[in-house]
Amino acid sequence: MRFIAIFTVITLSLTSAALAAPRDVLVMETGNKSTAVVLSAAPTSSAQFAALELQYHLEKITGEEPPIVSEPDVPDVMVRIAVGDTALGKSLGFPVDALQPWEFLVAERGGTIVLAGGDDPITGS
The model's pLDDT over 54-94, given as tens digits with 9 standing for 90+, comes to 999 999 999 999 999 999 988 888 899 999 999 999 999 99
Whether residue 89 is contained in a domain is answered as yes
Whether residue 49 is contained in a domain is answered as yes
**For residue range 7-21, what is the model confidence (pLDDT) as tens digits?**
333 333 333 434 566
Give the number of domains in the chain.
Answer: 1
**For residue range 99-120, what is the model confidence (pLDDT) as tens digits?**
888 888 999 998 899 999 987 7
Contact 67, 36 (CB under 8 A): yes
Whether residue 13 is contained in a domain is answered as no
3-state SS, residue 102: coil
The residue range of the domain holding 71 is 31-117
Contact 67, 38 (CB under 8 A): no
Whether residue 105 is contained in a domain is answered as yes
Q: What's 38's domain CATH number?
A: 3.30.379.10
Q: What is the pTM of this model?
A: 0.77
